[in-house]
Amino acid sequence: MSSTEPPETRTAAAPLPSRARAVRVADGEELRSVALPGLTLTVRARPGNRPGLPPALYVHGLAGSSQNWSALMPLLADHVDGEAVDLPGFGDSPPPDDSNYSVTGHARAVIRLLDSGGRGPVHLIGNSLGGAIATRVAAVRPDLVRTLTLVSPALPELRAQRNAWPTALLALPGVSSLFSRLTRDWTPEQRVRGVMTLCYGDPGRVTDEGFQHAVEEMERRLELPYFWDAMARSSRGIVDAYTLGGQHGLWRQAERVLAPTLLVYGGRDQLVSFRMARKAAAAFRGSRLLTLPDAGHVAMMEYPETVAQAIRELIEDSGAGAGSGGADENSGDNSGDSGGS
C-alpha cells in the first residue's frame, strides 16, 4: 500500500474545476489540492504555532469533511502542525478514478498522501469512518503513526445502534437514488437539522453561525453530481468492513496497533454504541479511554477543549511531541475514564 510518487499541489487561490460554491476556510487555515495518479485530495492545513512541531493528520467520518476538525485544530496548534484531509468524494475532494470507497481504499488514499508528502510519522486522529480508516492505517503501516486518537470509531458491532441502520440500508443497490428522490423536497436546513439531531448529544450547543455554515456546506454538496454515489459506496465499504474476518478484520487489526492510543466515546452517541468503549479499550493495547456522558458522535465538535486536552496528554506522555506537562490522574491506561460513564 506504499506510494512514493511526488504530489502536485495547488493553493486554494488556484482555480479548481467543477466547484459550484466556494469551500469555507476558517481564519488561520489554508487549503491545498494534492494530485496523485488516479487521486486528488484537498487538504486543510492549520500550521503549528512555532516551527519544528510534529505533524498531525485528521480524518473525518461518513458524510463529513475536513471542516469537522476546524474547532479542534487550533487548540492543538501548540503541539502539532495539523492537516485535515477530505477523503475521496467528500468535502472538496473529487471521486477517485477507480471508484474505490472501501475502508481499505480510503486507507490507501491516506497512506499515499502521507508517503507522497513525507510527513510521517504523524499523530493520526480519526472520527467514525475515519476512525476505522485510521485503525487500518496504524495496523498496516505502523511507521506512519506516532500516536492514534479515535473518536467514536466505526468498529464492527454485533448489535448496531438502530439509528445506524440507515447507513446499512444506504449500502444496498438502488437505495441511495431512491432516497435522493424521496427527499428531493427537503430543504438544506431540514437536512442539516436531521444530521445534527443524529450526531450531536445536544444539538442546542451548535451556534447560529455554525448552523448557517453547515447549511451552506450542505447546499454546496447537494450540487455535486457524485454526492449520493460517494455516500452509498462508502456506506457499502463500512458494511463490508464489518463482515470481514480473519487478519483483515478491524478488531484483529486493532490488536496489532503499536502506537499509543486514545479512545473517545460519547454517552449519547446514536451511531456508535457507548458499550463498545470497553471492548475497544481492551483491543488497543495500553490504550487510554476518555468517556463524555453528554457527547454524541462528534465529540471533537461538541467538546473540543476536553478532547484537545486529552490528545495533548497523550502526545506528552508518549514522548512523541513537543510540549511540557503531563496527564492527570484520570487519564491512565484503560483504568482512567475521564468524564464519567
Distance (Å, whole) CA 8 – CA 35: 5
CB 272 within 8 A of CB 297: yes
- Residue 288: which H helix or E strand, with range? strand 288-292
DSSP string for 211-242: HHHHHHHHHHHHTSTTHHHHHHHHHHHHHHHH
Confidence category of residue 15, pLDDT binned at 50, 70, 90:
very low
Distance of CA 181 to the CA centre of its chain: 28
The CATH homologous superfamily to which domain 8-318 belongs is: Alpha/Beta hydrolase fold, catalytic domain (3.40.50.1820)
Q: What is the pLDDT of residues 110-149, one digit of tens each?
A: 999 999 999 889 999 999 999 999 999 999 999 999 999 9
Give the model confidence (pLDDT) of 196-207 as tens digits.
999 999 999 999
Q: What is the pLDDT of residues 296-336, one digit of tens each?
A: 999 999 999 999 999 999 999 988 655 433 333 333 343 33
Answer whether 73's CB lies under 8 Å from 103's CB: no
